[in-house]
Structure 1
Amino acid sequence: MDNTALTGRVAIVTGVSRRAGIGFAVARELLAAGASVLVHSWSPADAEQPWGADPAGDAGIVELLGGAGPRLRHVAADFADPQAPARVVAAAVAAFGAVDVVVANHARSSNRTLAEVTAAELDLTWAVNARASVLLAQAFAAAHDDERPGGRIVLFTSGQHLAPMSREIPYAVSKGAIHQMTLTLSDALIDRGITVNTVNPGPVDTGWADAELTRRVRRALPAGRWGRPADVARLVRWLASDESRWITGQVIDAEGGFRRWVP
């Protein structure tokens, strides 16, 4: 890894609330490549899930990344609030004077079948996952100095375009929206030199799966293991770098050859 590839760049990484998570690995990778990073979290959302919030808390996560300082800051924000994305971008500009990269890694998980889904859950999941991603892109575009090189937006989707997710309808619908917005957002911003791409990381071991699911999914992965947050982080670091400048409007399935239908 080139530890100077992102020197002088400023990145926002959302969803950095658990050391086992993709957001934590992405923030660490970008910091190691020389970027200044504002990490965002909303720990109450993790506390509602079976895996729970990280016991280190937000302050502990920041310390594990090297501690707040000239190249690392933190902001907590609930993306159910439509004003939160603009506040996060403003916090990065206030801390570092500019913003060059947005990695919208945050997500609200929602395991609801068609019989179980409610309007309120659909609205909340869409607001956090899809609406906040668009508003982050809007706020970033408004704040970005086009004289600076390397304008990048990296979004995250899931595998809903490759196989059904009928037990996670609010999540699948909201992630499908992110898939579909990628090309349109990229067209809106490419004349300003800003690229927009989306990553589908496939099954990644962030501590959420039970033992049986872990076993079944492992059988469907040719490498014999789940994806690791570091696998995703390396791809995001490349997308944030100058090496990816000719790539935009793409949804990248980085799944390690995942075979969904293994008997």
Structure 2
Amino acid sequence: MVSGVGSLEGRVAVVTGVSRRAGIGFAVAEELLAAGASVLVHSWSPHDAGQPWGADPVGDAGIVEALGGESRRLQHVAADFADAQAPGQVIARAVEAFGAVDVVVANHARSSTQTLAEVTAAELDLTWAVNARASVLLAQAFATAHDDARPGGRLILFTSGQHLAPMSQEVPYAVSKGAIQQMTLTLADALIDRGITVNTVNPGPVDTGWATPELTERVGRALPAGRWGRPDDVARLIRWLASDDSQWITGQTLNTEGGFRRWVM
């Protein structure tokens, strides 16, 4: 266990979207475990299997094993957030496994590459359900399950910079993730009297293996460090937001983009 500045010893965290070892969710789970938290990791690998990057070849069991294997501090649940019951079931599983839940990191996302000309009602509905609706329902289930006598209530959401620049090649994704940035203040106000802070992270361009070589090179020119962000860059911020050190911050969208200059692209 780790104690001292940034310690999460004794805290229980739920991290959604832990489906790939190269992903942000995996790095966040790893970081919170290292900080002393007990962690329930959520995954839904069928989504990745349908994307160009594909599912992680080691599967859910291999991902959990890479985090140290199921134990008294690490448990796993698979759930499809297209199902409106799934967010509540995930939170209930955390309480069942660890007796409480203190931190929820809603890192999951459904990707969609439909333009305005291509967009369908079905894809809008599905992307909205997974990205935006599930985030609200996770917040609701978390609030219901949270013991206000426990310190350090944290809800951490994820957007993708739609409040900073357009994403016209990914209309359903942009609309649904943009809604998360917009819901941040409202959820923060709803939960602050419970001692729960709510903040949203925009991680900027992060190398999780999804980008083409051409896009990697083009975006890299707009990043002063000459590289894309890494999952551990984001995970360190999440660890801080989950800790007592961030207790005076709520209702904020934090852009952790390494000085990303969009106008250079």
TM above 0.5, yes or no, is yes
Q: Which amino acid in 2 is paired with 1:80?
A: A
Identity %: 83
Whether 1:108 and 2:107 are equivalent positions in the alignment is no
Identify which of 167, 175, 178 aligns with 2:177: 175
Identify which of 80, 83, 88 aligns with 2:82: 80
What is aligned with 1:65?
67
Residue 159 (structure 1) shift: 1.2
The 2-side partners of 1:14 and 1:130 are apart by: 13
What is aligned with 1:221?
223
The 2-side partners of 1:16 and 1:239 are apart by: 18
RMSD over aligned CA atoms reads: 0.8
Whether 1:44 and 2:84 are equivalent positions in the alignment is no
The 2-side partners of 1:250 and 1:163 are apart by: 18
What is aligned with 1:196?
198
What is aligned with 1:157?
159
Q: Which amino acid in 1 is paired with 2:2?
A: N
Whether 1:234 and 2:251 are equivalent positions in the alignment is no
Q: Which amino acid in 2 is paired with 1:252?
A: L
The 1-side partners of 2:99 and 2:161 are apart by: 36
Q: SS where residue 145 of structure 1 aligns?
A: coil
Q: SS where residue 180 of structure 1 aligns?
A: helix
The 1-side partners of 2:239 and 2:25 are apart by: 12
Q: SS where residue 261 of structure 1 aligns?
A: helix
What is aligned with 1:166?
168
Deviating 4+ runs (over 4 angstroms): none
Q: Which amino acid in 2 is paired with 1:28?
A: E
Residue 3 (structure 1) shift: 3.1
Aligned residues: 262
The 1-side partners of 2:166 and 2:246 are apart by: 30
The 2-side partners of 1:159 and 1:93 are apart by: 32
Q: Which amino acid in 2 is paired with 1:204?
A: V
The answer for unaligned runs of 5 or more in structure 1 is none
What is aligned with 1:262?
264
Q: Map Cα deviations across residues 41-66 of structure 1 (whole Å, 9 max, x no partner).
A: 00000000000000000000000000
What is aligned with 1:120?
122
The 1-side partners of 2:114 and 2:161 are apart by: 16
Residue 203 (structure 1) shift: 0.1
Please give the TM-score of this superposition, normalised by the length of structure 2: 0.98
Q: Which amino acid in 1 is paired with 2:84?
A: P
The 2-side partners of 1:67 and 1:96 are apart by: 16
What is aligned with 1:8?
10
What is aligned with 1:251?
253
Residue 18 (structure 1) shift: 0.1
The answer for unaligned runs of 5 or more in structure 2 is none
What are the residue-to-residue correspondences of 1:197-212 with 2, within 5 Å? 197-212=199-214
Residue 181 (structure 1) shift: 0.3
Q: Which amino acid in 1 is paired with 2:141?
A: A
Please give the TM-score of this superposition, normalised by the length of structure 1: 0.99
